[in-house]
Amino acid sequence: MSKSSELYERGLKVMPGGCSRNTILRKPHPLYVEKGEGCYVTDIEGVKRIDFANNMCSLIHGHAHPEVVAAVSEQLAKGTAFTVGTEVEIEYAEHLVNRSASFEKMRFVNSGTEAVMSCLKAARAFTGRAKIAKAEGAYHGLYDYAEVSQTSKPENWGDADNPKSVPVAHGTPKAALEDVVIIPFNEPERAIKILEQNADDIACVLLDVMPHRVGLITANDDFVNAIYNWTRKNDALLVYDEVITFRSNYGGAQEWYDGVTPDLTAMGKMIGGGFPVGALAGRADVMDVMNPLAEKVLFPHSGTFSANPITMTAGLKSMQMFDQSAVLRLNKLANYARNSISEAIKIADVPACVTGAGSMFRIHMKPEAPVSYRDAYVTPREAALTKTLLDHLFDDGIMMINTCSGVLSTVMTEKEIDRLAEAVLGGLNKMKNQF
C-alpha cells in the first residue's frame, strides 16, 4: 500500500468518492501533494512533475511564490477575517477597475460559480426579466441556470437550430430549464434566430469567449458582434464569464474584440493569488442594483468571507506582478508551447490538433480544430485516446487538466515547454497504432 492509496482509503470513509472535488480522481486512486514550488509539484511518494494544470487555471505565478508568501504571511499575523472593512479590499478593487475599460464598479465574492451567479441575479434585477441565454456546452459553475447544457450529448442535445436545455444534476427544476435559452457557439445566424424568439424575456446573454468545455476555441468576431448588437437592440445585458480567460490579456480576453463592451464580467481563479475568490465588475448602473444605500435595493448581496484580507492581499500582489510585460511574455511562451505541440503532432503523424490562445492550450484527438461544441464533442474513442495520452504524460512527469488542456505560469521557461513537447511526442508515437 502506497501512502496515497492509504489516504484514499481513509477519504472514502468520510467523503463521497473519497474527495471534495472530482478533478483529483485517478485510477486506482488519487495522488496527494507533498509540496509545490514554482512550476513543479512533488507528491507524497516523492515524484516531481511539471505543473501545467495550475489548480485548474488558478495559479498565474505557480506555487508558493516568495512575494505572495511574504505578503500573505504578514497579513496572517494581523488576522484572517473581520466584520469590519479592510483597506486592501479598496486598494485591490481600484487596481482591478483600472485594468479594464468595461469595469466601473465591482464586488468580491468567493468563487467563480458565485461570481457568475451574482452576475445573472444582477442582470435579472436590472432588467426585470427572468430568462438567460448561454452557449451550448459552456461551463459556468454550479448554479442551476448557469450549468444547463454543459454536458449535453448527441442523444439529448436536440436539433442544431433549436438546442435543448439539458440538465446536469438530477432533480434540476423544470422551471430552471425553461428559463435558460441555449444558443450554438460560434454560429451567429442560428444564435440570433433563437434569441429573437425570446427577445422580450431575456435578461442577459452569458458568454465565455474561449470556453474550456467547448474546446478551448475562441469565439469568432461575427458571433461576438452579433450577440453584442442583439443585446443593445433588445435592452438585454451582455455578461462575460472571464473566470478562466481573464489571464489572456491585461484587461482580460474581452480586449480581443474591438467595439464590444460587456455590461458585466465574472472573474475568479487567478485573481485570488492561490486562494478562493470570485468577483464581478461592470457598468456602474448595473452594479448598483446591489447598492445597500439605495432607496430600494434590487439585489441584496453579501458574503461572510467575501473580500477577506488574505485573498485580497494575495490577489493584489499577484495581479500587480502580472503586469503588461508579464502578460506579453507569458502569451509569447504559450505561442511557443502551441507551436511545439503542433510540431510534435506533425512529426508523430497522427490525427490530432491543438487549440487555445493567451496562456492556455488544449490537445484534441481530432485532425482539425473544432469551431463549435458539437464539433468539439469528445467521442468514446477520442476519450480513450485522450486518457492514454494523459496517463503517459503523467507518468512522464507532466501534470495536465483532465481534458488534455494546459495553462502556463509566469515561472515557466522554454525548458519546461521543450520537456512538454518531448513528452507529447513520446506519447503520440507510442499510441500511433491506436488511432
- Tell me the whole-structure pTM to 2 decimals: 0.96
pLDDT given at position 267: 98
Place of cell 448557469: 146
Whether residue 257 has pLDDT greater than 90: yes
Residue with the three cell numbers 506582478: 321
- What region does 203 belong to: left with phi over 0, alpha with psi -120 to 50, or beta? alpha
**Mean pLDDT for the stretch of residues 287-316:** 97
The percent of residues above 70 in pLDDT, for the chain, comes to 100
For the chain, the structural domain boundaries read 31-60+323-434, 66-321
CATH classification number, 31-60+323-434, choose in 3.30.360.10, 1.10.150.530, 3.90.1150.10, 3.30.43.10 = 3.90.1150.10
Nearest Cα to 60, choosing from 407, 402, 311, 337? Answer: 407
Rounded average pLDDT over 80-96: 97
Note the pLDDT of residue 88: 98
Encode pLDDT of 302-314 as tens digits: 999 999 999 999 9
Query: Does residue 146 have a pLDDT over 90?
Result: yes
What's the mean pLDDT in 145-159? Answer: 96
Greatest distance between any 2 Cα atoms in the chain: 69
Q: Which long-range contacts (CB under 8 A, 24 or more apart) does 399-403 make?
A: 399/41, 399/49, 399/50, 399/51, 399/52, 399/53, 400/52, 400/53, 401/23, 401/52, 401/53, 401/56, 401/57, 401/212, 402/23, 403/212, 403/213, 403/216, 403/362
Distance CA 139, CA 142 (A): 9
Phi, psi of 383 (to 5 degrees): -65, -40
Give me the long-range contacts of 381-390 (CB less than 8 A, separation at least 24): 384/434, 385/431, 385/434, 385/435, 388/427, 388/431, 388/434, 389/363, 389/365, 389/424, 389/427, 389/428, 389/431
3-state secondary structure at position 390: helix
Same fold, 31-60+323-434 and 66-321: no
Residue 71 scores a pLDDT above 90: yes
Burial classification of residue 155, based on how many CB atoms lie within 10 Å of its CB (0-12 exposed, 13-18 middle, 19 or more buried): exposed
Model confidence over 326-371: pLDDT tens digits? 999 999 999 999 999 999 999 999 999 999 999 999 999 999 999 9
Q: What does the pLDDT look like over 410-422, one tens digit per residue?
A: 999 999 999 999 9
Please tell me whether residue 356 adopts helix, strand or coil conformation.
coil
- pLDDT category of residue 259 using cuts at 50, 70 and 90: very high
Q: Kindly tell me if the per-residue pLDDT of 403 is higher than 90.
A: yes
> Could you count the other beta carbons within 10 Å of the beta carbon of residue 240?
30
Q: What pLDDT does 248 receive?
A: 98
Instruction: Kindly report the backbone phi and psi dihedral angles of residue 296, in degrees, each rounded to the nearest multiple of 5, phi listed first.
Output: -130, 115
Q: Is the pLDDT of residue 1 over 90?
A: no
Residue 415 to residue 420: CA distance in whole angstroms: 9
Quick count: other Cβ atoms within 10 Å of Cβ 276? Answer: 17
Reported confidence tier of residue 168, pLDDT bands at 50, 70, 90: very high
> pLDDT-based confidence at 192, cuts 50/70/90?
very high
- List the helix and strand counts (H, then E) for the chain: 14, 14
Lookup: cell for 420: 512538454
- Note the pLDDT of residue 301: 95
CB 185 within 8 A of CB 135: yes
- 324 pLDDT more than 90: yes
CATH architecture of the domain formed by 66-321 = 3-Layer(aba) Sandwich (3.40)
